[in-house]
Chains A and B, each alone.
Chain A
């Protein structure tokens, strides 16, 4: 229990929950790439996932817990950090200037992403329901919903911006989790940083390619 209240314990919970979600977004993005094959592939993929109830609910519970942990710890730590220094310097420090933008602004894109997740769930999980039947199996037609949404220019643009935000958040969060969990090694840490950047880039590009593709093609 002391562990969960300690500065390091909470950082590590941030790290673990973050890594879970990091893994999830990668899988999510990869699965969604099926839309490039066509509506049937995309909808069948979605149907397969929702049909496997244990997997679905299990994943949802884990993700919800991770999200909640990440959110609560993030707010808690940030509040504490703000309180640790009440008076501000007249000039920014070198450390402040050289620190990557992402590392200093995690709380802000974090909150933005929380908003996005809610919006995203409202649209796709709890949003309009269209049906489609392939080979006699009736399933939800998410592809049509997606085309409907991404054809609104503002919607698509907002999506693109938020996917870039995901990339920024991940680029620091992924490698930073390793540091928080105690993994720092002169040989491996630079590679983890590179990997973190690449992963964030791939995930962001993968995700934002979709609204752009839909907007241009459909």
Chain B
């Protein structure tokens, strides 16, 4: 039966260590020994950290929380790939059976100027929050809503909106993009709210303000290479960037200020 194994593997890790945003950072070679193929990637790091701690060394700092692929906290660029080599899988759901024993694994933080390194593999993604704060919401005061079924939404549009709403805000798209562009993230939210009738009243301002905030945060531009789509653990499509481009042009034309 698969998964039932006493097999243990060893790896050579090349881990990025960086003591804060102003430190230049460097790679450190660390051995990962006695790893079960059933362990997740982060559990492998847990184990490495336990050994580091008990030998009096500082453990590797990395962001993680739910370990179910939904909170968007975990990051890491593994062998050059945000969230590792597999498609539509977050780092926390990646398992060591995907890595051959003896392999050298290069682990780096998400690299983007708008995501400064906090420590080692942990980065600051608050630029994403600022983009949402610029307009990624529908203004409705608590208690003012009409009955839910008085706003019908056709299933096709509801499904399209849902597909963009699955974004977990992990920043994998920015990490993957050669230009560190945040367009997939921004366009996913613009699409989610813009495809729904509830989102229409603020749509024009939302598009203008969110794109503005995205530009101000210092993210790069889109070169339509599709790297973001490929890295997105939730499979969010490039189509959303086109929608944002279109809506932005329309909103710019129509804007009265």
Asked if A and B touch directly (CB within 8 angstroms), the answer is yes
Residue of A nearest to B187 (CB): A8
Cβ contacts B88-131/A at 8 Å (1 or 0 each): 00000000000000000010100111100000000000000000
- A6 contacts B by Cβ under 8 Å: yes
B241: which A residues are within 8 A, CB to CB? 179, 184
What number of A-B contacts does a CB cutoff of 8 Å give?
155
Select which of A84, A91, A99, A178 is within 8 A of B227 by beta carbon.
A99
- Tally of A interface residues using CB under 8 Å: 44
Of the listed stretches B4-12, B43-51, B62-70, B207-215, name the one at the interface; the rest are far from the partner chain. B207-215
Q: How far is the CA of A189 from the CA of B249 in the complex (A)?
A: 19
Q: How far is the CA of A178 from the CA of B224 in the complex (A)?
A: 10
Residue of A nearest to B80 (CB): A91
B219 touches A184 (CB 8 A): no
B245 touches A84 (CB 8 A): no
- A51 contacts B by Cβ under 8 Å: no
Known: A85-B113, A179-B242, A183-B246. A80 touches B227 (CB 8 A): no
Q: How far is the CA of A7 from the CA of B212 in the complex (A)?
A: 9
Q: How far is the CA of A106 from the CA of B178 in the complex (A)?
A: 13
- A58 contacts B by Cβ under 8 Å: no
Q: How far is the CA of A153 from the CA of B1 in the complex (A)?
A: 68
- B236 contacts A by Cβ under 8 Å: no
A100: which B residues are within 8 A, CB to CB? 225
A112 to chain B minimum Cβ distance, whole angstroms, is: 17
B contact residues vs A (CB 8 Å cutoff): 14, 25, 27, 77, 79-82, 85, 106, 108, 111-114, 176-181, 183, 208, 211-212, 214-215, 218-228, 230-231, 238-239, 241-249, 252
A-B contact pairs, 6 of them (CB 8 A): A7-B215, A11-B221, A84-B218, A90-B108, A93-B81, A184-B239
